């Protein structure tokens, strides 16, 4: 009798109750929600970059669409996680028979929340919203529709998306400034080639030298033009006579030899 009683008590202690099963289901569901949250947080930076590119293109409405998707999805999953946490605590504190309906409703709500979150997470080719095509407009409408399914249609009232965009732009300003300054420097170097690429650069001294040489030659010509020999008085006629004699001198020098008889 004693041995059979102890075995019976041991079997009862090892038996998995409905309460244990309910707690396990809620824990597993919460773990799944946390995995979804991590995935959303990891994709947050990528989609913020997309929103920043849209701001720079002047597409603020599309940028708000991207931010709205992220903010609503994060809030949706965090809210679901809180609800499941409360449900788990209530299962532990109350008798299982008293909360069967509550457990069922909580699990149903959690699974539905995950299903909706999964639909938003599975939106493919979000980057198409950057393009100036009809596909971009369709992608924007698809995102807005999926976000509204989460049941948070008044997200713009809860979050100031304009302020979120401005904050995102301010955070990115230092990086943008560095990129712009680097690109402007590169373009300046491209437009202004170095002195080695110029055609036959003339040394600075040569123009000065050539200019001085030209001025000296000009002065020399002027001096030469005014430099005429000045004849002394009475020398002009003598010079003329000398020149005549010099012309006749060869004839005078020719003397016929005398004939010897």
Residue 69: inside a domain: yes
pLDDT per position as a tens digit, 186-217: 555 544 544 444 444 444 444 444 556 566 66
Residue 242: inside a domain: no
Residue 147: inside a domain: yes
More confident residue, 234 or 60: 60
Chain mean pLDDT for the chain: 66
* pLDDT higher than threshold 70 for residue 168: yes
Model's pTM, two decimal places?
0.46
- Angle of helix 161-191 relative to helix 18-56, nearest 10 degrees, comes to 40
Distance CA(235)–CA(240), nearest Å, equals 9
pLDDT per position as a tens digit, 57-66: 888 888 888 8
Q: CA–CA distance from 74 to each of 32, 71, 123 (Å)?
A: 14, 5, 15
Question: pLDDT confidence of 83, banded at 50, 70, 90?
Answer: confident
pLDDT per position as a tens digit, 111-146: 887 777 777 766 665 666 666 667 777 767 777 776
Q: Which domain does 45 fall in, by range?
A: 17-170
Residue 36: inside a domain: yes
Q: Running DSSP on this structure, what letter comes out for residue 152?
A: -
Helix boundaries (H) for the chain: 2-14, 18-56, 60-93, 100-121, 134-149, 155-158, 161-191, 205-226, 235-253
* pLDDT higher than threshold 50 for residue 218: yes
Q: For the chain, what is the domain count?
A: 1
Residue 225: inside a domain: no
Residue 191: inside a domain: no
Tell me what pLDDT residue 204 has. 43
Tell me what pLDDT residue 77 has. 83
Token pair recorded at residue 213: 């040489």
Residue 221: inside a domain: no
* Lowest mean pLDDT, pick from 21-35, 160-174, 177-191, 209-223: 177-191
Q: CA–CA distance from 112 to each of 29, 85, 192 (Å)?
A: 11, 16, 64
């Amino acid at each position: 009798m004693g041995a059979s009683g102890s075995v019976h008590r041991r079997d009862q202690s090892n038996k998995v109750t409905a309460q244990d099963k309910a707690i396990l289901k809620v824990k597993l569901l919460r773990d799944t929600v946390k995995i979804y949250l991590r995935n959303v947080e990891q994709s947050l930076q990528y989609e913020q970059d997309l929103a920043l590119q849209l701001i720079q293109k002047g597409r603020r409405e599309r940028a708000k669409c991207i931010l709205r998707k992220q903010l609503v999805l994060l809030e949706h999953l965090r809210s679901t996680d809180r609800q499941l946490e409360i449900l788990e605590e209530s299962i532990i504190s109350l008798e299982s028979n008293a909360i069967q309906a509550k457990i069922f409703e909580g699990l149903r709500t959690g699974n539905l929340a995950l299903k909706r979150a999964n639909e938003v997470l599975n939106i493919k080719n979000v980057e198409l919203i950057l393009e100036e095509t009809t596909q971009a407009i369709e992608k924007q409408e698809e995102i807005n529709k999926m976000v509204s399914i989460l049941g948070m249609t008044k997200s713009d009232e809860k979050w100031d998306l304009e302020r979120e965009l401005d904050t995102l732009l301010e955070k990115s300003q230092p990086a943008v400034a560095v990129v712009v300054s680097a690109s402007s420097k590169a373009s300046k170097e491209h437009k202004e080639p170095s002195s080695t690429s110029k055609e036959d650069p003339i040394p600075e001294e040569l123009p000065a030298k050539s200019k001085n040489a030209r001025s000296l030659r000009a002065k020399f010509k002027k001096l030469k033009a005014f430099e005429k020999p000045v004849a002394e008085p009475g020398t002009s006629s003598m010079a003329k006579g000398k020149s005549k004699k010099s012309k006749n001198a060869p004839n005078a020098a020719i003397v016929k030899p005398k004939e010897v008889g």
